[in-house]
Amino acid sequence: MVNDKDDLYKRILTARGLTEEDLTGSIEDLPDEALFANIDSIAERIREAIIQNEPMVIFGHDDPDGITSTYILYQYLNSCGYQRHSYYIPNRNIESHGIQQRFIDFVREGGFKLVITVDNGISAYNGVEELNALGCDVIITDHHLIQPEMVPRAYSIMNPQLPYCQYPFKALAGVGVALMLIRYLANKWEHPIDPAAYFWAAVGSIADKVPMIGLNRILVRHVLEHFDEVQDHTVQFLLRNYSRVSTITDKFNFVTYTSRLIATAEKKAGITPVCALCCNYRMLKPDCLKSSKNKRIIGKASLTGSLVFWILSRRILWAVCLCIMTMMT
């Protein structure tokens, strides 16, 4: 039996693998992103692509972590005025994980000079070799464990699991790595981050089930404590169809349900969750929506109105929304 409240508090922290810093730290206390290995060369290559107006494609993974990673990086480059970037999310129903032939053909046909992977790529040795043969530079941002004998010969790699990486927190999700890259670019280029990037980073981190300690916990708590400041049009639309968000628990549940919406979305006729986040539905042609050929979606458009189209065009997803709202009433 525990008689001392302080002792009970400490035992709870220990049992959950937490420290006092986990409960009191803020975004301002995060480690310097410059501690990531290779991050300076990555930033320089991206800057060069923007200045030279080179075509670039962000290659994401088809799960909530990869989708949110793709979204926040795409949106940040968009906010910088860059307009020659696209994204590619493979359809898991017809493509295996990682860099496969369909994507290599897409890069060849599109004449892309730079590929940035998010939440994947660290095991794509053969895929990177084929992209290199096309004269396309590959930047890998990933969080998965590394097989030393299979590290791709990419232009540069950003991964906290690299043995020579000095960044102290290793348990980031893929979207956490993407966010740290964006934070570094924002500081180096003196161009601010959209606060909504933190919301989507929290969504992806929770969905990927990374441990809620250290930086991950700070990130989620920042979103909960600054909830009104981290909303974009998509978040505001979802909130209008959610029964109530007033307490911290309501906010956490909303973030969790958002991750589930992304995770359970259908991929039919080439319309994917990242399309919903990044694309304006008014700019999608009917033949693009119907074509069975377009099993992946390549986006270049604004955010406004997109998730409305996505949700309403998916009966199963709309049913999920209704179930969630019913549960919350």
Where in the chain are the domains?
Answer: 28-328
CA 1, CA 234: separation in Å to the nearest integer?
A: 49
Answer for the pair 181, 141: CB distance below 8 angstroms, yes or no: yes
Four-point Cα dihedral 207, 201, 295, 312, nearest 10: 80
CA–CA–CA angle 28, 204, 50 (5° rounding): 70
**Reading across the β-sheet that carries 114-118, which strands appear in turn?**
85-88, 56-59, 114-118, 137-141, 156-158
Answer for the pair 59, 86: CB distance below 8 angstroms, yes or no: no
- CATH architecture of the domain 28-328 equals Alpha-Beta Complex (3.90)
Within the chain, residue ranges assigned H as helices are: 5-15, 20-24, 39-51, 64-79, 101-110, 125-133, 174-189, 196-207, 214-225, 233-240, 248-263, 273-278, 286-290, 306-312, 315-328
Q: What is the pLDDT along the chain (329 residues), one digit of tens a residue?
A: 455 667 888 888 888 877 777 778 889 989 999 999 999 999 999 999 999 999 999 999 888 999 999 999 999 999 999 999 999 998 877 887 889 999 999 999 999 999 999 999 999 999 999 999 999 999 999 999 999 889 999 999 999 999 999 999 999 999 999 999 999 999 999 999 999 999 999 999 999 999 998 999 999 999 999 999 999 988 998 898 888 888 999 999 999 989 888 877 644 434 455 555 655 433 333 333 333 333 343 333 333 334 433 443 443 444 444 444 444 44
- Token pair for 219: 């990130």
- Token pair for 278: 């990044």
Q: What is the pTM of this model?
A: 0.82
